[in-house]
Amino acid sequence: MASLIGPKADVALAEEAALAGSELGVCVVASDNNAGNVVISGAKAAVDRAIEKAKELGARAIPLNVSAPFHCPLMAPAAEEMQRALASTLIAAPRTPLVTNVTARPTLDPEAIRDLLVQQVTGRVRWRESIQWLAEEGAVTRFAELGSGKVLTGIAKRIAPDAEGVALNSPDDLEAFAKTL
């Protein structure tokens, strides 16, 4: 996997780079994070070729130190495992619509959620579009990131500059956040 960054790094550039890489194996756009940050994924030789092409097209390209080529067809065996695991799992309709990274649109349908959870293993992450929908159509004004760091908070803030971003990295962060609700 590699992150294509810079002012020229967009989905069109990433698709062109991935197409060049696909001459050597599987290579696809894995994640549209935000303007200036798109990730490609696939077979190592193919991604290496795509990195060369992205640089020719004017983007910076940074190989990512990951354990697998996430969000690409090479993850099909994992998607099949996910499908088997979810087949017998009860999924209740959420009370709040779930905006999925596969469609960048909301759903309340448990069967659609089940299918989309499987699709997301091999499918493109439409993060930019998801955050745009949440901020514009969903009227979300505050995003909270749970975990270690604040990468997604920063990306969301660049997509929806009027929204607040909160990184919750410790129990103290969670406690302070809960008091604001």
What is the secondary structure of 28-82 as a DSSP string? EEEEEEETTEEEEEE-HHHHHHHHHHHHHTT-EEEE---SS--SSGGGHHHHHHH
125 found inside a domain: no
pTM, full prediction: 0.91
Domains held by the chain: number = 2
- Of 63, 84, 104, the residue that ends a domain is 63
129 found inside a domain: no
Instruction: At 99, give phi and psi (nearest 5°).
Output: -90, 115
- List the CATH number of the domain containing 13: 3.30.70.250
70 found inside a domain: no
162 found inside a domain: yes
- Compute the mean pLDDT over every residue in the chain, rounded to the nearest whole number: 96
Q: What is the mean pLDDT of residues 146-167?
A: 91
Dump pLDDT digits (tens) for 130-141: 999 999 999 999
- Alpha-carbon gap, residue 89 to 7, rounded angstroms: 43
163: containing domain: 141-181
43 found inside a domain: yes
127 found inside a domain: no
Q: Is the pLDDT of residue 147 over 90?
A: no
- Alpha-carbon gap, residue 111 to 15, rounded angstroms: 31
Q: Give the pLDDT score at 148.
A: 81
Dump pLDDT digits (tens) for 31-82: 999 999 999 999 999 999 999 999 999 999 999 999 999 999 999 999 999 9
User: Sorting pLDDT into bands at 50, 70 and 90, what band is 149?
Assistant: confident
Dump pLDDT digits (tens) for 78-115: 999 999 999 999 999 999 999 999 999 999 999 999 99
73 found inside a domain: no
59 found inside a domain: yes
